[in-house]
Structure 1
């Protein structure tokens, strides 16, 4: 079963998402009652667990538009995570939040290469499909192992590739959904794949690192 390694980047993402809700609260004028928070969204650093992250609040009815914080504008509200279980329509919002929380810092061609590899690795890890392509990552791929997640119910919701401390290291951060062998479907799962830049046959390429 795929697991999500702990990463300082995940703490950064969670902090930014919480900050969105905090800024929205600051937009309510002094003395005005804050409405009850809407339903929570979920993010997780572990495939089997989820942490609640409140989305940005909308301005209270009757609030003076001139006193409304910028965090309460439609663009800020749209950037909030979609509700848990939103499905495919909510995926673009997750992608926007990832990109806003972690600005791009890689050349476009490196980012494309890393995203392609990261998506394929996650699919192989979760469903068992094409694990033999990465024997260094999946050393027991030749053995018959029941996949942890059903291929038909597996979906990558969002993904970004960023540097991981130095130009020669990178991480692909993925948010995904899937149904496990027990029939439980969960979205907003988080997995990171780490890569190092190596030379193969005279050309630089990104090599995935085995899970620890």
Structure 2
């Protein structure tokens, strides 16, 4: 079996290609890599570009003072309240602050009854309206005393009802605003009204405790 000889042109082309590659390799300095960055590029970098690198942000975060935990800040509730004179727009923030400070611990029915009674009692005390409905709280002479606050400028800003040491005792926390007889308006007033659970016609009900 005989081998067919390669055409002379193919052999010549192969020789030329090998010769060109050999010359290129001989002209390249020993160990040089064209794609590698120059060693001096890092040393000659602009110092301002280094100062503005993201490293500064990392240092700032690490050296920033830690945030104080909520438990160590006694004024959290006060800071959450709206400023004086905020008006009706700030009442929702007051209500939310009360609910966050004292989580609910009463059945919904009891809480509703206490809030209804507490609001009515506070309104009667401040404006004089409905004092006769609370003979156990207001004596006859107190019912005749002129109200200290104008009815038109009286507003309950927020209210919650919570237990007061036992299941049969409760307190209604109220925050309110009003204008007194001298024309002075004051908001964020705080009043606590205390109630005890009693039986009335066989049904449990919440009765306000007499004022001392």
State the TM-score, normalized to the length of structure 1. 0.63
Paired with 1:29 and 1:168, the residues of 2 have a C-alpha distance of 50
Say how many residue pairs are matched.
142
Q: Which has the higher helix share?
A: 2
Give the C-alpha shift of residue 211 in structure 1. Answer: 1.3
* In structure 1, distance between residues paired with 2:141 and 2:100: 36
For 2:209 and 2:148, the matched residues in 1 are separated by 21
> How far off its partner does 1:29 sit?
2.7
Uncovered stretches (5+) of structure 2, i.e. residues with no partner:
1-62, 67-74
Q: What is the CA–CA distance in structure 2 between the aligned matches of 1:85 and 1:143, rounded to whole Å?
A: 30
Residues 97/182 of structure 1: CA separation in 2 closer, same or farther (3 Å cut): same
- For structure 1, the 5+ residue unaligned runs are 1-27, 32-50, 56-79
Change (3 A) 1:180 1:106: same
Instruction: Flag the structure with more relative contact order, 1 or 2, with Cα contacts below 8 A and sequence separation at least 6.
Output: 1
Structure 2 length as normaliser, TM-score? 0.63
Does residue 128 of structure 2 align to residue 93 of structure 1?
Answer: no
SS class of match (1:149): coil
* 1:156 maps to 2:156: yes
* Max Rg structure: 2
What RMSD, in angstroms, separates the aligned Cα atoms of the two structures?
Answer: 2.1
Measure, in 1, the Cα distance between the counterparts of 2:157 and 2:181. 20
Runs of 4+ in 1 over 4 A off after TM superposition: none
Secondary structure, in 3 states, of the residue corresponding to 1:119?
Answer: helix
Q: Is the 8 A contact 2:124 2:130 kept in 1?
A: yes
Once the two structures are superposed, what CA deviation does each residue of 1:71-100 show, in whole Å capped at 9, x if it has no partner? xxxxxxxxx111111000000000000000
Q: Per-residue deviation at 1:165?
A: 0.3
